[in-house]
Structure 1
């Protein structure tokens, strides 16, 4: 497997505590199967096209779907980000992720939506994220593509970790958002909208650091199954995003 991706033993030791317990028959080698999941997501392959070195493709796919439903990958990302400590600076933004025709279905029978919406660019999903001062994601949220930055911020605000400052573009320039940050002791660094009667000053020099969250989105989209959504179910697609974020930034 010299030409294929394989998690190191040190990386496995960091994520193994969050794996479900095995009952009865022992599971197939976790390191090989998880590495196969990462390889498929990063290269945008069909599950059936996973290299044979990772084992049967059905085993890889079934493990991914089963653990996605259990929220295992979401927990791995959240715990790795939490253990990094409290950031002194935060950044918030959102980006669109194109839905492939195999996943592009607005309606779904059941309790949960697919988190796919219609915009001028077609059917897509939207990833809202908060990262630390080094451009590493600490909070992520998947929504329909047409959801505004305002609504995404409203869903994320209660989960923000303690920090001194938060950087955002003028799309987040709202009085309620600034007030919510002030109540949490976070100083906003947000440019004023052009239609604001009394512009609010911000630290222009500090604002230049906001490119780091754009770089973070770019690195996530380098993974083919993140850049283009092939998964119909929202929980499996978000699990793929959590896997990519954990491997790129936290392992």
Structure 2
């Protein structure tokens, strides 16, 4: 396939156990189709512009949409991210993802939620992420763009691994969050906000490691259909994020 992206047999062996079973007519080659889906998402293409080497573009689109509704890509990411030892340090951050006008167009009432909101930067979605000490994502959550970092932190709180040190910027500095982390036996490394009357000490040397989650977010945004959202439905966009995180951090 020349310079086109193609998953290796080793990579396919790690993710194929999570594929749904084929019923009736045998499914088109999984390696070629999934590789084509990855190529489209990474390069920000329209499905119709996928290289012919991957087969009919409708096959790529239909496979991605069907497996997104089934949560296949979400489960692959969750399964691979959960393997391995418990991290000693975790980091949390959030970033905005611009919604293209095709994603922001109105859907009929009762259809799938969009998770698109309005902020000063226009219409966008927000990605809340938690990564381990080496910068690999372990928890991902998408929301409307106007959702605060604190609300996102509250939603991922129960999934945080206990006994770790959490590094975050001062946007996560609040009494309730520090108390919630203490209840989970998690040590916070969060700079205090400037309006605190009594500043809270934190490990400034350890805090320098926070660049790893920023690097992780930047690497995800290298995928053009992640940096700019084209999908109307929230679950298809989140599937693209999970697939990008899987390929970029767990199958390299």
Indicate whether the TM-score tops 0.5.
yes
Size of the aligned set, in residue pairs, is: 251
SS in 1 for 2:12: helix
SS in 2 for 1:109: coil
- More deviation, 103-112/238-247: 103-112
In structure 1, C-alpha distance between the alignment counterparts of 2:161 and 2:30, rounded to whole Å = 32
Which residue does 2:121 correspond to in 1? 121
Q: 1:108 Cα deviation (Å)?
A: 5.1
Q: 1:103 Cα deviation (Å)?
A: 0.6
Change (3 A) 1:200 1:124: same
The C-alpha deviation readout for 1:70-91, integer Å capped at 9, x for no partner, is: 0000000000000133111100
Instruction: Please list every run of 5 or more consecutive structure 1 residues that lacks an aligned counterpart in the other structure.
Output: none
SS in 1 for 2:104: coil
Q: 1:246 Cα deviation (Å)?
A: 0.2
Change (3 A) 1:107 1:52: closer
- More deviation, 77-86/215-224: 77-86
Q: Which runs of 4+ in 1 moved over 4 A?
A: none
TM-score by length of structure 1 reads 0.98
Q: 1:155 Cα deviation (Å)?
A: 0.3
Work out whether residues 105 and 114 of structure 1, in 8 Å CA contact, stay in contact via their aligned partners in 2: no
In structure 1, C-alpha distance between the alignment counterparts of 2:114 and 2:64, rounded to whole Å = 18
Q: 1:158 Cα deviation (Å)?
A: 0.5
Change (3 A) 1:163 1:41: farther
**1:137 and 2:100 are equivalent in the alignment:** no
Q: For residues 199-210 of structure 1, what are the structure 2 equivalents within 5 Å?
A: 199-210=199-210
The C-alpha deviation readout for 1:107-144, integer Å capped at 9, x for no partner, is: 65216420000000000000000000011000000000
In structure 1, C-alpha distance between the alignment counterparts of 2:133 and 2:72, rounded to whole Å = 26
Work out whether residues 102 and 230 of structure 1, in 8 Å CA contact, stay in contact via their aligned partners in 2: yes
SS in 2 for 1:226: helix
Which residue does 1:83 correspond to in 2? 83
**1:110 and 2:116 are equivalent in the alignment:** no
SS in 2 for 1:25: coil
Which residue does 2:242 correspond to in 1? 242
Instruction: Please list every run of 5 or more consecutive structure 2 residues that lacks an aligned counterpart in the other structure.
Output: none
Let me know the Cα RMSD of the aligned residues: 1.0
Which residue does 2:60 correspond to in 1? 60
Q: 1:197 Cα deviation (Å)?
A: 1.0
TM-score by length of structure 2 reads 0.97
In structure 2, C-alpha distance between the alignment counterparts of 1:32 and 1:217, rounded to whole Å = 27
Work out whether residues 90 and 163 of structure 1, in 8 Å CA contact, stay in contact via their aligned partners in 2: no
In structure 2, C-alpha distance between the alignment counterparts of 1:144 and 1:105, rounded to whole Å = 15
